[in-house]
């Protein structure tokens, strides 16, 4: 069986079914219920792969490279100020979700007006997150890539945004710089 994420998920679902068969034969009600829950989670759950790190470690650049695009804005100044979630879509589509629950579709060229410190200083536009759909095969199998604001810059709201997001992380790529020693805030993070 193919050992990519989708392949492994199928294999686990298959094994959960085998275990459930045994549990049913033995009438183990608690275990049947538990396995049902595990199965639902596996079927429904999108996998959140989050890119984390201090400010200016190349997080956004790394995501662009994974996707083979330059759709996300990168810069030498602390930049990303809002969490951006990137999932599979047949066409490029961008939706902004505001803190008050309202949503708005924008052109991908306008992305920087919402997710960057220069386009949206101190998050004055009150954006909660931005959802980007992108036609990359990397994103199939329900993988969601998440770009986060860098922590430890002078923009405290960027740090807070990212810390608030940590409970939703399934796996993280933590980027460090090869030409600077590990900082105190990186160790704490």
Ligand X SMILES: Nc1nc2c(ncn2[C@@H]2O[C@H](COP(=O)(O)OP(=O)(O)OP(=O)(O)O)[C@@H](O)[C@H]2O)c(=O)[nH]1
Residues making contact with ligand X (CB under 6 A): 53, 55-61, 74-76, 78-80, 149-150
Residue 148 burial (CB count, 10 A): 25
58 binds, among ligand X, Mg ion, none (CB under 5 to 8 A by kind): ligand X
Shortest Cβ 160–Mg ion spacing (Å): 16
Residue 52, strand partner residues:
174
Residue 78 binds which of ligand X, Mg ion, none (CB < 5-8 A, kind-dependent): ligand X
Instruction: Choose from ligand X, Mg ion, none: what does 56 bind? Cβ within 5-8 Å by kind.
Output: ligand X
In whole angstroms, the minimum distance from the beta carbon of 91 to Mg ion comes to: 24
Residue the block writes with tokens 């298959």: 14
How far apart (Å, rounded) are the C-alpha atoms in residues 71 and 135? 12
Number of chain positions touching Mg ion (CB under 5 A): 3
**Contact set for Mg ion, span 56-75 (CB under 5 A):** 59-60
Nearest to 143 by CA among 54, 58, 63: 63
- Residue 138's φ and ψ, nearest 5 degrees, are -60, -25
Site for Mg ion in 79-108 (CB under 5 A): 80
Q: Mapping DSSP to helix (H, G, I), strand (E, B) and coil, where does residue 70 land? A: coil
List of residues contacting Mg ion (CB under 5 A): 59-60, 80
């Amino acid at each position: 069986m193919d050992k990519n994420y989708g392949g492994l998920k199928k294999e686990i679902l298959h094994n959960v079914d085998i275990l459930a068969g045994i549990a049913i034969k033995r009438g183990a009600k608690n275990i049947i219920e538990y396995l049902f829950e595990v199965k639902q989670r596996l079927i429904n759950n999108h996998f959140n792969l989050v890119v984390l790190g201090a400010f200016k470690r190349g997080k956004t650049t790394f995501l662009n490279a994974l996707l083979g695009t330059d759709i996300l804005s990168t810069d030498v100044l602390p930049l990303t100020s809002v969490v951006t979630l990137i999932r599979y879509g047949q066409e490029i589509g961008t939706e902004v979700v505001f803190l008050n629950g309202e949503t708005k579709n924008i052109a991908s060229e306008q992305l920087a007006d919402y997710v960057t410190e220069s386009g949206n200083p101190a998050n004055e536009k009150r954006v909660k997150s931005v959802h980007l759909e992108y036609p990359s095969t990397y994103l199939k199998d329900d993988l969601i890539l998440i770009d986060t604001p860098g922590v430890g810059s002078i923009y405290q709201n960027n740090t807070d945004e990212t810390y608030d997001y940590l409970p939703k992380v399934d796996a993280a790529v933590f980027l460090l710089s090869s030409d600077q020693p590990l900082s105190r805030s990186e160790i704490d993070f």
